[in-house]
Structure 1
Amino acid sequence: MHTLNLESEPIAVDVKFTADAFHVTLEDGRELSIPLAWFPRLLHAAPEQRAQWELIGRGEGLHWEALDEDISVAGLLAGRGDQTRRSKPAA
C-alpha cells in the first residue's frame, strides 16, 4: 500500500530587506521575518550585496555568492540563526 505524503519542503520565492531584518516569502504565501543580527555577514553587507541573492535548488535555501552565505529555509522555520553568535559582555 502507498501513502500519499501531502507535506512538502518549504520553498522560498522572494527575499526583501529592511534596516534590521530580512523577509523571505514562501511559495505557500507565508512570510518569514528574520533579524539581520542572526546573520552577521548579511548585517554588515552593503545593500547591493544583500540584493544579490540566489535560490538554492528549487528554493530550499538562499545563497549570497559575494558574502559566502547559505541559509536553508527549513533552518529559518526552525528558528536557527548563526550558531556562532556570542552573548554581549555584561556592562
Structure 2
Amino acid sequence: MSSMAGNNLISNVPAIKVWVEHRMVYLELSDGRILGFPADRFKLLKAASDSQLQEVTLELKGYSIRWENLDEDLTVQGILEGRFQLPMEPST
C-alpha cells in the first residue's frame, strides 16, 4: 500500500523504534529513515505530562504507536502523511 503526498511517494513502512525527547516524538522506520514530530500536534499528547509522553510503545508490528496511559493511538502512515490534529505553533 502506498499513497502520494505532493511529489513524494510515501510507502506504508513500519517503525522499529519510538522514543520521546523534549516533547518531540521520534520514529525510526524499517527502511532507515528517522522522523520526528512535536507531541503538541495532537490534542491528548499536548495535554500530557513529559513523563506520560515517555510511556510510548510500538503496536501492530510497528504500524502504530500507543500511549496506554493516555488511551492514544497514532498510525505511522498518518504521521508520514502529515495528518496532525493541531497546527504548528509559532516559535517564540
- TM-score w.r.t. the length of structure 1 is 0.71
Identity, % of aligned positions: 33
Larger strand proportion, structure 1 or 2? Answer: 2
Moved over 6 A (4+): none
> In the alignment, is residue 75 of structure 1 matched against residue 81 of structure 2?
no
* Unaligned 5+ runs, structure 2: 1-10
Deviations 1:38-77 (A, max 9, x none): 1132222122211222222100010111111100000011
TM-aligned CA distance change 1:20 to 1:49, over 3 Å: closer
Task: Give the Cα–Cα distance (whole angstroms) in 2 for the partners of residues 78 and 46 of structure 1.
Answer: 26
Larger radius of gyration between Structure 1 and Structure 2: 1
Amino acid at match of 1:67: L
Amino acid at match of 1:65: E
* Unaligned 5+ runs, structure 1: 1-7
> In the alignment, is residue 36 of structure 1 matched against residue 39 of structure 2?
yes
> 1:20 Cα shift?
4.1
